[in-house]
């Protein structure tokens, strides 16, 4: 009985950790799709596609794709590609079997918040003579594109079909302002992250952010409530260098839209990282909920404030406390978040803030003993930990480690199930 519950949890963690398909691999089989494929990787849409199920990718060959893509910036190409990822499963049979001969289907573009009305959907219509036409769902659009051939089907997870020409929706090719022109401070303030915005401004970090925003930048901005929460250290008691490290820990010099966070296998390095495994973050996923783990605390991603290639800004529920600054040596209560196995014990680590006169803060208000209430992503990984014979190896984990533990335990159940029945 207990086995059943555990099995269920294991399956949930498996589903979270495994992506059943790899669009990059699928498209790599045909060089005619190399440009479409390269751009899926560059815009990180490949991660988004791999993290979803029941999806259809309308692929274009190089000639059809480059006719549009070559003339537009990456942010526009990303919107174009997003409109070619349909959030439903259409194979050859279903395409020719559409009830009433016409349907509208939502695409990834609709989920970006850039699409008004029907602009993020495509119209799929059975045309005379067995042809299937594709066009924007926006009123008055033409069905300029037709079904060419089926490329790959993994029912009912992913279908890849080739269409003859790009689907263009009204406004799709209008470039958003370049991310270098985005006023990050103003966006943060508007998103309810005023405290973070002012700290980042007063410590000069905003200059780093603005200058990397067109090269790849992801900001995890704690909202104003997060700074008032119990367990958040009194910043006025930290050295300037520690405050800067703490703030730097809230951003990564990489473009990480949500699909990439969900599929990331490796820890995420931050602006505070100063060596392998230092000041990095790990990610866990539970359905649509994404949680960041520091080794000391966890924080849910609350909202996407901006996703404009190559800049992403998220608001997060809690201040991220790096273990390099805030881990307490032997904690009386069992630590809810074991430190990742490969990183050395933070107490042994040389202070990354060597220029700071003060060593580690002597005693920051105890965040380590606190269990973050209701962090949903913890459930499956906690179950996986329990099921492993020695807790030591699992610890807090990257996806593949969870997977290994889960798969091992899972096959154990299958075997014992065989013997029991
Ligand atoms: C479809 O996806 C699910 C969940 O990721 C997976 O368990 C299943 O094996 C996939 N189906 C195929 C045919 O790959
Ligand atoms: C998908 O396949 C590509 C190319 O084989 C590989 O580089 C990438 O890591 C794979 N992605 C995932 C999520 O496994
Ligand atoms: C690539 O496209 C050309 C022209 O449409 C076609 O003849 C060829 O078979 C395609 N290559 C593959 C590997 O399908
Ligand atoms: C098909 O068309 C009929 C008549 O126009 C309509 O009543 C029905 O709702 C349509 N079915 C679907 C699935 O759109
Ligand atoms: C799809 O487009 C065609 C041609 O413009 C139109 O006749 C049809 O009503 C559209 N389908 C839907 C479901 O709106
Ligand atoms: C950005 O916005 C902030 C707050 O709204 C404002 O004080 C600042 O002057 C703006 N910066 C630029 C360069 O426009």
The domain spans of the chain are 9-163, 179-328+335-347+364-380
Tell me if 185 CB under 6 Å of ligand 6: yes
Q: What is the pLDDT of residues 137-178, one digit of tens each?
A: 999 999 999 999 999 999 999 999 999 999 999 999 987 777
Tell me if 19 CB under 6 Å of ligand 2: yes
Distance 66 CA to ligand 5 centre (A): 27
Tell me if 98 CB under 6 Å of ligand 4: no
Distance 212 CA to ligand 6 centre (A): 17
Query: Which of 77, 38, 35 shows the shortest CA–CA distance to 60?
Result: 35
Distance 7 CA to ligand 2 centre (A): 28
- Tell me, what's the pLDDT at 333? 42
Ligand nearest to the CA of 16: 1
pLDDT, the chain, mean: 79
Considering only the C-alpha atoms of the chain, give the largest distance between any 2 of them, rounded to a whole number of Å. 79
- Tell me, what's the pLDDT at 114? 73
Distance 36 CA to ligand 2 centre (A): 16
33 pLDDT more than 90: yes
Indicate the helix (H) or strand (E) that contains 188.
helix 184-190
- Per the document, the length of the chain is 421
Tell me if 183 CB under 6 Å of ligand 6: yes
Query: Which of 307, 287, 312, 263 shows the shortest CA–CA distance to 41?
Result: 263
- Sequence-ordered list of residues with C-beta below 8 angstroms from that of 301, at least 6 positions apart, any chain: 220, 258, 261, 289, 290, 291, 292, 314, 315, 316
| CB of 406 closer than 8 Å to CB of 17 | yes
Q: What is the pLDDT of residues 80-113, one digit of tens each?
A: 999 999 999 999 999 988 988 999 999 999 987 7
Q: What is the pLDDT of residues 189-233, one digit of tens each?
A: 999 999 999 999 999 999 999 999 988 999 999 999 999 999 899
Structural class in CATH, domain 179-328+335-347+364-380:
mainly beta
- Per-residue pLDDT, averaged over 383-409, amounts to 36
Tell me if 30 CB under 6 Å of ligand 3: yes
Judge if 9-163 and 179-328+335-347+364-380 fold alike in CATH terms: yes
Q: What is the pLDDT of residues 286-315, one digit of tens each?
A: 988 999 999 999 999 999 999 888 899 999
Q: What is the pLDDT of residues 230-253, one digit of tens each?
A: 989 999 999 999 999 999 999 999
Ligand nearest to the CA of 44: 2
Ligand nearest to the CA of 132: 5
Which atom of ligand 3 is nearest to 31's Cα? 13
- Tell me, what's the pLDDT at 420? 36
Tell me whether strands 85-86 and 102-106 are parallel, antiparallel or unpaired: unpaired
Distance 43 CA to ligand 2 centre (A): 15
Ligand nearest to the CA of 262: 2
CA distance 50 to 62: 22
| The CATH classification of domain 9-163, taken from the options 2.30.180.10, 1.20.1260.10, 3.20.10.10, 3.30.950.10 | 2.30.180.10
Nearest CA to ligand 4 atom 5: 100
Q: Does 358 or 226 have the greater pLDDT score? A: 226
């Amino acid at each position: 009985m207990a086995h059943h519950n555990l099995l269920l949890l294991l399956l949930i963690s498996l589903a979270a950790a495994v992506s059943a398909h790899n669009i990059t691999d699928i498209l790599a089989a045909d060089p005619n799709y190399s440009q479409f494929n390269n751009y899926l990787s560059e815009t990180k849409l490949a991660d988004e596609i791999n993290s979803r199920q029941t999806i259809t990718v309308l692929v274009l060959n190089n000639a059809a794709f480059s006719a549009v893509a070559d003339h537009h910036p990456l942010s526009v190409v990303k919107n174009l590609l997003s409109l070619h990822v349909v959030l439903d499963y259409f194979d050859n049979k279903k395409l020719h079997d559409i009830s009433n001969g016409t349907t509208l289907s939502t695409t990834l573009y609709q989920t970006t918040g850039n699409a008004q009305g029907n602009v993020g959907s495509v119209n799929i219509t059975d045309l005379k003579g067995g042809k299937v036409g594709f066009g924007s769902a926006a009123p008055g659009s033409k069905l300029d594109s037709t079904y060419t051939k089926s490329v790959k089907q993994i029912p009912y997870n992913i279908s890849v079909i080739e269409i003859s020409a790009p689907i263009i929706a009204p406004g799709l090719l209008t470039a958003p302002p370049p991310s270098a022109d985005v006023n990050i401070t103003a966006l943060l303030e508007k998103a309810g992250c005023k405290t973070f915005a002012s700290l980042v401004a007063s410590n000069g970090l905003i200059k780093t952010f603005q200058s990397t925003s067109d090269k790849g930048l992801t900001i995890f901005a704690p909202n104003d409530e997060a700074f008032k929460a119990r367990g958040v250290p009194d910043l006025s008691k930290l050295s300037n260098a520690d405050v800067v490290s703490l703030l730097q820990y809230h951003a990564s010099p990489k473009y990480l839209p949500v699909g990439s966070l969900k599929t990331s296998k490796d820890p995420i390095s931050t602006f505070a990282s100063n060596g392998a495994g230092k000041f990095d973050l790990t990610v866990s996923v539970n359905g649509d909920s994404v949680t960041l783990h520091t080794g000391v605390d966890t924080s849910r991603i609350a909202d996407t404030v901006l996703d404009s290639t190559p800049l992403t800004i998220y608001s997060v529920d809690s201040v991220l406390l790096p273990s390099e600054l805030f881990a307490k040596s032997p904690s009386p209560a069992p630590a809810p978040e074991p430190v990742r196995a490969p990183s050395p014990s933070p107490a042994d680590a040389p202070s990354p803030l060597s220029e700071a006169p003060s060593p580690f803060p002597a005693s920051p208000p105890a965040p380590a003993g606190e269990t973050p209430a209701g962090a949903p992503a913890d459930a499956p990984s906690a179950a996986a930990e329990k099921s492993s014979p020695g807790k030591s190896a699992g610890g807090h984990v990257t996806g593949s480690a969870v997977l290994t533990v889960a798969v091992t335990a899972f096959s154990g159940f299958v075997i014992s199930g065989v013997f029991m029945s």
